Structure 1
Amino acid sequence: MATITQKSSRLDIRLTEEQRALIERAASLTGSTLTQWTAQHLIEAARRDIDKETTLRLNDASFDAFLVALNDPIPDAAKELMARDPQWA
């Protein structure tokens, strides 16, 4: 059973008449309301941008090197660094 989420937040944007007409046409062609279409596409774009900025992607060779590095022993310099008391403590 689907739950209904109360929507109480608004987002107002300014558009040219041409921009609004374009968005209204896209919404109409997909059978969505202007609000539904706009919210769906803004949310998709936000998720895509967040993913792009917060996800590290490696090519196959780099990923293989990363896996090897995870299995290697920790270098002495890194051990010494981790043993220090942090400056902010």
Structure 2
Amino acid sequence: MPRKQAVKETPRANRIERLGFRIDEETKDLIERAAHLTRRKVSDYCVTALADTARRTIAEHETLVLSDRDRATFFDALINPPEPSERLIRAFDEHRRRVAP
């Protein structure tokens, strides 16, 4: 009895969602050329490029870059926190009053 060959699952096999949009001819030619140069299908090239750009965009928005002075001030506040102001103490008291433990 012949053995069945294992089917290698590819990322493409898991694709179930669609994303459609229109582009101008110049942009399409540019994308097709880039896909050809990387020896990939246009759709695979586009999915990879969009996902990479999305990851970079998210990382840029989730990353905080501090100057040396800001970093020093931040760590100093962590190591030597200031005494709470009267306003902060009142806010904590109000929070304890409103929120059940």
**Which TM-score applies when normalising by structure 2?**
0.72
Deviations, residues 34-68 of structure 1 (Å, cap 9, x unaligned): 11111111111111111112221112221121111
User: Could you say which residue in structure 2 is the equivalent of 1:85?
Assistant: 95
Q: Distance in 1 between matches of 2:62 and 2:93?
A: 28
Match of 1:53 in 2: 61
Instruction: Verify: 1:16 aligned to 2:24, yes or no.
Output: yes
Question: Is the partner of 2:40 in helix, strand or coil?
Answer: coil
Give aligned-pair identity as a percent: 30
Quick one: which of 57, 71, 82 aligns to 1:63? 71
Distance in 2 separating the partners of 1:25 and 1:64: 48
| Residue number in structure 2 paired with 1:28 | 36
Long gaps (5+) in structure 2: 1-7
Q: How many correspondences in the alignment?
A: 87
Equivalent-residue separation in structure 2 for 1:55 and 1:82 (angstroms): 29
TM (normalized to structure 1)?
A: 0.80
Which structure 1 residue ranges, 5 or more long, are not aligned?
none
